[in-house]
């Protein structure tokens, strides 16, 4: 079952279960996907976006929820922070299992070897390979400095 079908099935099930919080989050996911599909159609892609792009949307939604929750906590609005944090596990259900630290390290090494990276100037190519293969499975904000360190040591 592809990602769109899984989201649609989960939405139907949440309606049947009368789970309003889950349903609300699933509808936010559906709205974000439709927005991206509309933008893709404007660019000439009538089929909408592919699963890799959907994973990117979901990863971005998780990141937004974490940032919002932190902001709410700093502002003393724990009720709003809890609401944001409650949405994260629902969104993450549709993301592939994240890589552990060792798997991330191995993926970085493999990408460096694959592109023949020898200096920091090759960082963009290495990150491009990683983003293509591991979208939604690793935190690229944390991986960037790791790649930079590896390339600095190599060069």
CA distance 22 to 119: 46
Residue-level pLDDT at 71: 96
pLDDT at residue 104, as a whole number: 87
In the prediction, which pLDDT does 28 show?
95
Enumerate residue ranges in the chain where pLDDT < 70: 1, 154-155
Domain around 116: 101-154
Final residue before a domain boundary, out of 60, 77, 93? 93
What digits encode the pLDDT tens for the residues 53-69? Answer: 888 889 889 989 999 99
- Report how far residue 143's alpha carbon sits from residue 106's, in angstroms, rounded to the nearest whole number: 12
pLDDT reported for residue 151: 82
pLDDT of residue 15: 96
Rounded to two decimals, the pTM is 0.73
Do residues 110 and 150 both lie within one domain?
Answer: yes
The pLDDT score that the predictor gives to residue 154 is 67
Q: Residue 141: give its domain's CATH number.
A: 1.10.10.410
Alpha-carbon distances, residue 40 vs 35, 43, 115, 133 (angstroms):
9, 5, 29, 21
- The first and second tokens of residue 86, run together, are 């409650």
End-to-end CA distance of the chain: 44
- In total, how many domains does the chain have? 2
Q: What is the number of alpha carbons within 13 Å of residue 141 lying toward its C-beta?
A: 3
Residues 53 and 20 in one domain: yes
Nearest to 151 by CA among 17, 70, 143, 56: 143
Residue 20: per-residue pLDDT = 93
């Amino acid at each position: 079952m592809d990602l769109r079908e899984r989201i649609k099935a989960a939405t139907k099930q949440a309606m049947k279960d009368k789970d309003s919080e889950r349903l609300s989050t699933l509808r936010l996911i559906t709205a974000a996907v439709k927005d991206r599909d509309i933008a893709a159609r404007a660019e000439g892609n009538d089929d909408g976006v592919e699963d890799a792009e959907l994973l990117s949307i979901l990863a971005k939604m998780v990141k937004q929820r974490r940032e919002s929750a932190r902001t709410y906590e700093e502002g003393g609005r724990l009720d709003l922070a809890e609401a944001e944090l409650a949405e994260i596990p629902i969104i993450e259900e549709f993301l592939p299992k994240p890589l552990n630290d060792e798997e991330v390290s191995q993926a970085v090494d493999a990408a460096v070897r694959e592109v023949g990276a020898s200096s920091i100037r090759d960082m963009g190519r290495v990150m491009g390979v990683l983003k293509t293969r591991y979208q939604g499975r690793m935190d690229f904000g944390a991986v960037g400095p790791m790649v930079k360190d590896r390339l600095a040591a190599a060069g």
